[in-house]
Amino acid sequence: MEIKKHASLKAFHTFGIEQTCAYLAVVESIEDVIQLFNDATFKDLPKLFLGKGSNMLFTQHYEGVVIINRLLGKTVTETESHYLLHVDGGEDWPALVEWCVKQGIGGVENLALIPGCAGSAPIQNIGAYGLELQNICDYVDVLDLTTFETRRMSSADCKFGYRDSIFKHALYEKCFITALGLKLPKQWQAINQYGPLQSIPKDELSPHSIFERVCQVRMEKLPDPAKVGNAGSFFKNPVITQDHYDQLVSQHSGMVAYPALGGMKVAAGWLIDQCGLKGVSVNGAQVNPLQALVLTNVNNCSADDVVELASLVKKTVWDKYQIELEHEVRFMGSKKETNLAEIEAGR
Protein backbone atom coordinates (compact mmCIF):
# COMPACT_ATOMS: atom_id res chain seq x y z
CA MET A 1 0.00 0.00 0.00
CA GLU A 2 1.31 3.40 -1.02
CA ILE A 3 0.58 6.43 1.22
CA LYS A 4 1.53 10.02 0.34
CA LYS A 5 1.32 13.08 2.57
CA HIS A 6 -0.11 16.41 1.32
CA ALA A 7 -0.71 14.92 -2.11
CA SER A 8 -2.08 16.46 -5.29
CA LEU A 9 -5.47 15.14 -6.43
CA LYS A 10 -5.22 16.53 -9.94
CA ALA A 11 -4.47 13.13 -11.51
CA PHE A 12 -7.09 11.32 -9.45
CA HIS A 13 -10.29 13.03 -10.57
CA THR A 14 -11.43 13.64 -14.11
CA PHE A 15 -12.07 17.38 -13.69
CA GLY A 16 -8.26 17.68 -13.48
CA ILE A 17 -8.48 20.66 -11.12
CA GLU A 18 -5.48 21.32 -8.89
CA GLN A 19 -6.53 20.33 -5.39
CA THR A 20 -4.79 18.61 -2.48
CA CYS A 21 -5.51 16.23 0.38
CA ALA A 22 -3.80 15.57 3.71
CA TYR A 23 -3.09 11.93 2.79
CA LEU A 24 -3.51 9.81 -0.34
CA ALA A 25 -3.54 6.01 -0.04
CA VAL A 26 -3.68 3.52 -2.92
CA VAL A 27 -5.20 0.23 -1.71
CA GLU A 28 -4.88 -3.05 -3.62
CA SER A 29 -6.58 -5.44 -1.17
CA ILE A 30 -9.22 -5.59 1.55
CA GLU A 31 -6.36 -6.09 4.03
CA ASP A 32 -4.90 -2.71 2.97
CA VAL A 33 -8.21 -1.02 3.81
CA ILE A 34 -8.44 -2.68 7.23
CA GLN A 35 -4.83 -1.74 8.00
CA LEU A 36 -5.48 1.86 7.02
CA PHE A 37 -8.58 2.16 9.22
CA ASN A 38 -6.76 0.63 12.19
CA ASP A 39 -3.73 2.90 11.89
CA ALA A 40 -3.73 5.43 14.75
CA THR A 41 -2.30 8.11 12.40
CA PHE A 42 -5.52 8.19 10.40
CA LYS A 43 -8.10 7.02 12.93
CA ASP A 44 -9.74 10.40 13.58
CA LEU A 45 -9.41 11.81 10.07
CA PRO A 46 -12.26 11.88 7.53
CA LYS A 47 -11.86 9.29 4.79
CA LEU A 48 -13.02 9.23 1.18
CA PHE A 49 -12.98 6.25 -1.18
CA LEU A 50 -12.31 7.13 -4.80
CA GLY A 51 -12.28 4.98 -7.94
CA LYS A 52 -11.56 6.97 -11.08
CA GLY A 53 -12.82 10.25 -9.59
CA SER A 54 -15.18 10.59 -12.56
CA ASN A 55 -18.11 12.00 -10.59
CA MET A 56 -16.34 14.26 -8.10
CA LEU A 57 -15.60 17.96 -7.61
CA PHE A 58 -13.21 18.78 -4.78
CA THR A 59 -14.37 22.23 -3.68
CA GLN A 60 -11.55 22.67 -1.12
CA HIS A 61 -8.37 21.06 0.20
CA TYR A 62 -9.50 17.74 1.71
CA GLU A 63 -8.31 17.46 5.30
CA GLY A 64 -8.53 13.69 5.45
CA VAL A 65 -7.42 10.49 3.68
CA VAL A 66 -8.38 9.92 0.05
CA ILE A 67 -8.34 6.16 -0.58
CA ILE A 68 -7.90 5.07 -4.20
CA ASN A 69 -9.58 1.72 -4.95
CA ARG A 70 -7.26 -0.50 -6.98
CA LEU A 71 -8.76 -3.91 -6.19
CA LEU A 72 -8.48 -5.75 -9.51
CA GLY A 73 -9.77 -9.00 -10.96
CA LYS A 74 -12.81 -10.52 -12.69
CA THR A 75 -14.18 -14.02 -13.19
CA VAL A 76 -17.01 -15.47 -15.28
CA THR A 77 -19.09 -18.55 -14.46
CA GLU A 78 -22.08 -19.82 -16.40
CA THR A 79 -25.46 -21.37 -15.79
CA GLU A 80 -27.73 -22.71 -18.52
CA SER A 81 -29.40 -19.32 -18.84
CA HIS A 82 -26.90 -16.70 -17.61
CA TYR A 83 -23.35 -15.45 -17.54
CA LEU A 84 -22.36 -14.61 -13.96
CA LEU A 85 -19.58 -12.03 -13.62
CA HIS A 86 -17.75 -11.30 -10.38
CA VAL A 87 -15.88 -7.99 -10.76
CA ASP A 88 -13.52 -6.43 -8.21
CA GLY A 89 -14.28 -2.83 -7.29
CA GLY A 90 -11.20 -1.20 -8.80
CA GLU A 91 -11.78 -2.54 -12.32
CA ASP A 92 -12.27 0.16 -14.97
CA TRP A 93 -15.94 0.17 -16.04
CA PRO A 94 -15.51 1.15 -19.74
CA ALA A 95 -12.82 -1.52 -20.13
CA LEU A 96 -15.12 -4.10 -18.51
CA VAL A 97 -17.99 -3.32 -20.91
CA GLU A 98 -15.68 -3.54 -23.92
CA TRP A 99 -14.25 -6.84 -22.65
CA CYS A 100 -17.75 -8.31 -22.25
CA VAL A 101 -18.72 -7.38 -25.82
CA LYS A 102 -15.50 -8.88 -27.20
CA GLN A 103 -16.17 -12.09 -25.24
CA GLY A 104 -19.64 -12.31 -26.81
CA ILE A 105 -21.33 -11.52 -23.50
CA GLY A 106 -24.27 -9.16 -24.06
CA GLY A 107 -26.31 -7.12 -21.62
CA VAL A 108 -23.96 -4.30 -20.58
CA GLU A 109 -23.33 -2.65 -23.97
CA ASN A 110 -25.75 0.25 -23.32
CA LEU A 111 -23.48 1.32 -20.45
CA ALA A 112 -20.39 1.70 -22.66
CA LEU A 113 -17.93 4.52 -21.98
CA ILE A 114 -19.48 5.58 -18.67
CA PRO A 115 -16.31 6.68 -16.86
CA GLY A 116 -15.51 5.26 -13.44
CA CYS A 117 -14.73 1.95 -11.79
CA ALA A 118 -16.94 -1.03 -11.01
CA GLY A 119 -17.08 -0.24 -7.30
CA SER A 120 -18.58 3.19 -7.96
CA ALA A 121 -21.29 1.90 -10.33
CA PRO A 122 -23.72 0.69 -7.61
CA ILE A 123 -23.42 3.91 -5.59
CA GLN A 124 -24.70 5.98 -8.48
CA ASN A 125 -26.79 3.20 -10.04
CA ILE A 126 -25.27 4.23 -13.36
CA GLY A 127 -27.55 4.18 -16.37
CA ALA A 128 -27.83 5.11 -20.03
CA TYR A 129 -30.03 4.38 -23.06
CA GLY A 130 -32.75 2.52 -21.16
CA LEU A 131 -30.49 0.36 -18.98
CA GLU A 132 -29.50 0.89 -15.35
CA LEU A 133 -27.04 -1.11 -13.28
CA GLN A 134 -29.89 -2.35 -11.08
CA ASN A 135 -31.29 -4.26 -14.10
CA ILE A 136 -28.20 -6.48 -14.30
CA CYS A 137 -26.77 -6.34 -10.74
CA ASP A 138 -26.95 -9.66 -8.89
CA TYR A 139 -25.13 -8.61 -5.72
CA VAL A 140 -22.66 -6.15 -4.20
CA ASP A 141 -19.88 -7.27 -1.84
CA VAL A 142 -19.00 -4.78 0.90
CA LEU A 143 -16.54 -4.42 3.76
CA ASP A 144 -18.25 -3.15 6.93
CA LEU A 145 -16.05 -0.29 8.17
CA THR A 146 -17.10 -0.81 11.78
CA THR A 147 -16.70 -4.58 12.18
CA PHE A 148 -14.32 -5.09 9.19
CA GLU A 149 -16.36 -8.10 8.14
CA THR A 150 -17.31 -8.67 4.51
CA ARG A 151 -20.85 -9.43 3.44
CA ARG A 152 -22.85 -9.88 0.27
CA MET A 153 -25.85 -7.64 -0.44
CA SER A 154 -28.53 -8.62 -2.93
CA SER A 155 -29.67 -6.17 -5.57
CA ALA A 156 -32.84 -5.59 -3.55
CA ASP A 157 -30.75 -4.82 -0.44
CA CYS A 158 -29.08 -1.98 -2.36
CA LYS A 159 -32.35 0.01 -2.64
CA PHE A 160 -31.52 1.26 -6.11
CA GLY A 161 -33.26 4.38 -7.46
CA TYR A 162 -32.61 6.94 -10.18
CA ARG A 163 -28.88 7.70 -9.74
CA ASP A 164 -29.38 6.55 -6.16
CA SER A 165 -28.78 3.65 -3.78
CA ILE A 166 -28.49 2.72 -0.10
CA PHE A 167 -24.78 3.63 -0.37
CA LYS A 168 -25.76 7.31 -0.53
CA HIS A 169 -28.01 7.03 2.52
CA ALA A 170 -28.10 4.36 5.27
CA LEU A 171 -24.68 2.94 4.32
CA TYR A 172 -23.02 6.26 3.44
CA GLU A 173 -19.41 6.14 4.74
CA LYS A 174 -20.21 2.88 6.59
CA CYS A 175 -18.94 0.40 4.03
CA PHE A 176 -16.46 -0.07 1.19
CA ILE A 177 -17.58 -1.77 -2.01
CA THR A 178 -15.09 -4.53 -2.76
CA ALA A 179 -16.82 -6.22 -5.72
CA LEU A 180 -20.07 -6.65 -7.59
CA GLY A 181 -21.83 -9.46 -9.36
CA LEU A 182 -23.52 -9.07 -12.73
CA LYS A 183 -26.13 -11.50 -14.04
CA LEU A 184 -26.43 -11.34 -17.82
CA PRO A 185 -28.94 -13.49 -19.74
CA LYS A 186 -27.60 -15.67 -22.55
CA GLN A 187 -30.92 -15.11 -24.34
CA TRP A 188 -29.90 -11.58 -25.30
CA GLN A 189 -32.55 -8.94 -25.99
CA ALA A 190 -31.70 -5.55 -27.46
CA ILE A 191 -32.56 -2.43 -25.47
CA ASN A 192 -32.77 0.01 -28.36
CA GLN A 193 -35.82 2.17 -27.64
CA TYR A 194 -33.85 5.31 -26.86
CA GLY A 195 -32.35 8.02 -29.03
CA PRO A 196 -29.74 7.03 -31.61
CA LEU A 197 -30.12 3.30 -30.92
CA GLN A 198 -33.52 3.34 -32.63
CA SER A 199 -31.85 3.89 -35.99
CA ILE A 200 -29.93 0.60 -35.93
CA PRO A 201 -31.60 -1.71 -38.49
CA LYS A 202 -33.37 -4.65 -36.86
CA ASP A 203 -31.30 -7.24 -38.73
CA GLU A 204 -28.09 -5.55 -37.51
CA LEU A 205 -28.96 -5.46 -33.82
CA SER A 206 -26.32 -7.11 -31.63
CA PRO A 207 -24.38 -6.29 -28.47
CA HIS A 208 -21.54 -5.16 -30.73
CA SER A 209 -23.65 -2.84 -32.90
CA ILE A 210 -25.23 -1.21 -29.84
CA PHE A 211 -21.81 -0.88 -28.17
CA GLU A 212 -20.38 0.76 -31.29
CA ARG A 213 -23.27 3.21 -31.60
CA VAL A 214 -23.17 4.19 -27.91
CA CYS A 215 -19.42 4.74 -28.11
CA GLN A 216 -19.81 6.79 -31.30
CA VAL A 217 -22.48 9.05 -29.78
CA ARG A 218 -20.60 9.50 -26.52
CA MET A 219 -17.33 10.36 -28.29
CA GLU A 220 -19.12 12.85 -30.54
CA LYS A 221 -21.05 14.57 -27.76
CA LEU A 222 -18.98 14.13 -24.61
CA PRO A 223 -15.47 15.53 -24.24
CA ASP A 224 -12.72 13.04 -23.38
CA PRO A 225 -11.68 13.73 -19.74
CA ALA A 226 -8.09 12.90 -20.73
CA LYS A 227 -8.14 15.94 -23.03
CA VAL A 228 -10.71 18.28 -21.43
CA GLY A 229 -11.37 17.94 -17.72
CA ASN A 230 -14.99 17.11 -16.86
CA ALA A 231 -17.11 14.83 -14.70
CA GLY A 232 -19.61 13.73 -17.33
CA SER A 233 -23.26 14.70 -16.89
CA PHE A 234 -23.21 17.46 -14.29
CA PHE A 235 -26.95 17.66 -13.58
CA LYS A 236 -29.66 15.03 -13.11
CA ASN A 237 -32.67 14.99 -15.39
CA PRO A 238 -35.36 16.61 -13.19
CA VAL A 239 -38.78 15.05 -12.65
CA ILE A 240 -41.69 17.51 -12.66
CA THR A 241 -45.43 17.08 -12.16
CA GLN A 242 -47.71 16.40 -15.10
CA ASP A 243 -49.45 19.74 -14.52
CA HIS A 244 -46.16 21.62 -14.58
CA TYR A 245 -45.16 19.80 -17.76
CA ASP A 246 -48.51 20.54 -19.46
CA GLN A 247 -48.13 24.20 -18.59
CA LEU A 248 -44.56 24.38 -19.92
CA VAL A 249 -45.12 22.38 -23.09
CA SER A 250 -47.90 24.76 -24.12
CA GLN A 251 -45.33 27.58 -24.04
CA HIS A 252 -42.20 25.71 -25.16
CA SER A 253 -42.70 23.35 -28.09
CA GLY A 254 -40.27 20.50 -28.57
CA MET A 255 -39.60 19.99 -24.87
CA VAL A 256 -37.72 16.71 -24.44
CA ALA A 257 -39.39 14.67 -21.70
CA TYR A 258 -40.83 11.23 -20.99
CA PRO A 259 -43.06 9.70 -18.27
CA ALA A 260 -41.31 8.74 -15.03
CA LEU A 261 -42.03 8.38 -11.32
CA GLY A 262 -45.58 9.68 -11.48
CA GLY A 263 -44.59 12.76 -13.46
CA MET A 264 -42.43 13.73 -16.41
CA LYS A 265 -38.64 13.46 -16.54
CA VAL A 266 -37.25 16.41 -18.48
CA ALA A 267 -33.89 16.35 -20.28
CA ALA A 268 -31.67 18.71 -18.28
CA GLY A 269 -29.36 19.16 -21.27
CA TRP A 270 -32.30 20.41 -23.37
CA LEU A 271 -33.28 22.92 -20.68
CA ILE A 272 -29.72 24.28 -20.44
CA ASP A 273 -29.40 24.42 -24.22
CA GLN A 274 -32.71 26.28 -24.60
CA CYS A 275 -31.46 28.86 -22.10
CA GLY A 276 -28.65 29.68 -24.54
CA LEU A 277 -25.94 28.52 -22.15
CA LYS A 278 -23.87 26.31 -24.46
CA GLY A 279 -20.32 27.67 -24.56
CA VAL A 280 -20.89 30.09 -21.64
CA SER A 281 -17.77 30.38 -19.44
CA VAL A 282 -16.78 31.49 -15.98
CA ASN A 283 -13.03 32.01 -16.19
CA GLY A 284 -11.64 28.58 -17.15
CA ALA A 285 -14.90 26.64 -16.63
CA GLN A 286 -17.29 26.25 -19.56
CA VAL A 287 -20.66 24.75 -20.47
CA ASN A 288 -19.67 22.30 -23.19
CA PRO A 289 -20.61 23.72 -26.63
CA LEU A 290 -21.71 20.28 -27.92
CA GLN A 291 -23.44 18.82 -24.85
CA ALA A 292 -24.92 21.38 -22.46
CA LEU A 293 -25.21 18.83 -19.65
CA VAL A 294 -21.42 18.76 -19.26
CA LEU A 295 -19.36 21.43 -17.48
CA THR A 296 -15.70 21.42 -18.50
CA ASN A 297 -12.29 22.60 -17.33
CA VAL A 298 -11.12 24.26 -20.55
CA ASN A 299 -8.40 26.50 -19.15
CA ASN A 300 -6.98 25.51 -15.76
CA CYS A 301 -10.16 26.49 -13.94
CA SER A 302 -10.56 26.43 -10.18
CA ALA A 303 -13.27 24.60 -8.24
CA ASP A 304 -14.80 28.02 -7.50
CA ASP A 305 -15.14 28.63 -11.25
CA VAL A 306 -17.10 25.38 -11.65
CA VAL A 307 -19.29 26.18 -8.65
CA GLU A 308 -20.03 29.67 -9.99
CA LEU A 309 -20.85 28.29 -13.44
CA ALA A 310 -23.11 25.59 -11.98
CA SER A 311 -24.88 28.25 -9.93
CA LEU A 312 -25.43 30.38 -13.04
CA VAL A 313 -26.88 27.41 -14.96
CA LYS A 314 -29.17 26.46 -12.10
CA LYS A 315 -30.50 30.02 -11.67
CA THR A 316 -31.01 30.58 -15.41
CA VAL A 317 -33.01 27.35 -15.82
CA TRP A 318 -35.12 28.19 -12.76
CA ASP A 319 -35.86 31.70 -14.01
CA LYS A 320 -37.07 30.40 -17.40
CA TYR A 321 -38.81 27.14 -16.48
CA GLN A 322 -39.27 27.13 -12.67
CA ILE A 323 -37.45 23.80 -12.66
CA GLU A 324 -34.77 23.28 -10.04
CA LEU A 325 -31.72 21.41 -11.30
CA GLU A 326 -29.89 19.07 -8.94
CA HIS A 327 -26.27 18.24 -9.60
CA GLU A 328 -25.34 14.63 -10.22
CA VAL A 329 -21.64 15.31 -9.57
CA ARG A 330 -20.62 14.94 -5.92
CA PHE A 331 -19.18 18.02 -4.19
CA MET A 332 -16.50 17.26 -1.59
CA GLY A 333 -15.63 19.95 0.97
CA SER A 334 -12.71 20.09 3.39
CA LYS A 335 -14.05 17.34 5.67
CA LYS A 336 -17.34 16.09 4.26
CA GLU A 337 -19.60 16.07 1.26
CA THR A 338 -21.43 19.29 0.48
CA ASN A 339 -23.64 20.61 -2.30
CA LEU A 340 -24.30 23.70 -4.39
CA ALA A 341 -27.10 24.98 -2.14
CA GLU A 342 -24.88 24.78 0.96
CA ILE A 343 -22.03 26.59 -0.78
CA GLU A 344 -24.39 29.31 -2.07
CA ALA A 345 -25.89 29.76 1.41
CA GLY A 346 -22.41 30.13 2.90
CA ARG A 347 -21.42 32.96 0.58
Q: Which of 98, 328, 337, 344 is catalytic?
A: 328
> Does residue 328 have an active-site annotation?
yes
CATH number, position 252? 3.90.78.10
233 catalytic? Reply is yes
Residue 294 has pLDDT above 90, yes or no: yes
Judged against a pLDDT cut of 90, whether residue 167 lies above it is answered with yes
d(CA 304, CA 316) in angstroms, rounded, equals 18
- How confident is the model over 252-274, as a mean pLDDT? 93
Domain identity same for 181 and 239: no
Whether residues 112 and 178 fall in one domain = yes
Residues 160 and 245 reside in one and the same domain:
no
Instruction: Print the domain residue range for 115.
Output: 74-220
Q: Which of 91, 233, 308, 330 is catalytic?
A: 233
Looking at every residue in the chain, the average pLDDT score rounds to 96
Report pLDDT for 261: 79
pLDDT > 90? residue 326: yes
- Domain identity same for 150 and 193: yes
pLDDT in tens, 9-34: 999 999 999 999 999 999 999 999 99
Verify that 79 and 216 share a domain, yes or no. Answer: yes
What is the Cβ-side half-sphere exposure of residue 322, based on CA atoms within 13 angstroms?
10
Check: CB of residue 52 under 8 Å from CB of residue 116: yes
Do residues 267 and 197 both lie within one domain? no
Where does a domain end: 54, 69, 84?
A: 69
Number of domains in the chain: 3
Verify whether residue 2 is a known catalytic residue: no
| Over residues 27-55, mean pLDDT | 96
Q: What is the mean pLDDT of residues 239-247?
A: 96
Q: What is the pLDDT of residue 301?
A: 98
**pLDDT band (50, 70, 90) for residue 221:** confident
Whether residue 331 is found in the same domain as residue 201: no
* Residue 347 pLDDT level (bands cut at 50, 70, 90): confident
| Residue 162 reports pLDDT greater than 90 | no
3-state secondary structure the chain: CEEEEEEECHHHCCCCCCCEEEEEEEECCHHHHHHHHHCCCCCCCCEEEECCCCCEEECCCEEEEEEEECCCCEEEEECCCEEEEEEECCCEHHHHHHHHHHCCCCCCHHHCCCCCECCCHHHHCCEECCEEHHHCEEEEEEEECCCCCEEEEECHHHCCECCECHHHCCCCCCEEEEEEEEEEECCCCCCCCCHHHHHCCHHHCCHHHHHHHHHHHHHHHCCCCCCCEEEEECECCCEECHHHHHHHHHHCCCCCEEEECCEEEECHHHHHHHCCCCCCEECCEEECCCCCCEEEECCCCCHHHHHHHHHHHHHHHHHHHCCCCCECCEEECCCCEECHHHHHHCC
- Based on the fold, state whether residues 201 and 83 are members of the same structural domain: yes
Residues of the chain with pLDDT > 70, as a percent, come to: 100
Q: What CATH number did the domain enclosing 179 receive?
A: 3.30.465.10
Do residues 125 and 47 both lie within one domain? no
Q: What number is the average pLDDT over the span 270-298?
A: 97
At 242 the pLDDT is: 96
Judged against a pLDDT cut of 90, whether residue 195 lies above it is answered with: no
Q: Which residues contact 77 (CB under 8 A, 6 or more apart)?
A: 83, 84, 86
- Identify whether residues 83 and 98 lie together within a single domain: yes
Residue 285 has a pLDDT of 98
What pLDDT was estimated at residue 131?
97
Q: Same domain for 260 and 161? A: no
Domain boundary among 185, 220, 255: 220
Same domain, 238 and 327: yes
Mean pLDDT, to the nearest integer, of 294-321?
A: 98
Domain end marker among 174, 200, 220: 220
Q: Which of 163, 213, 218, 330 is catalytic?
A: 163
What's the CATH number where 20 sits? Answer: 3.30.43.10
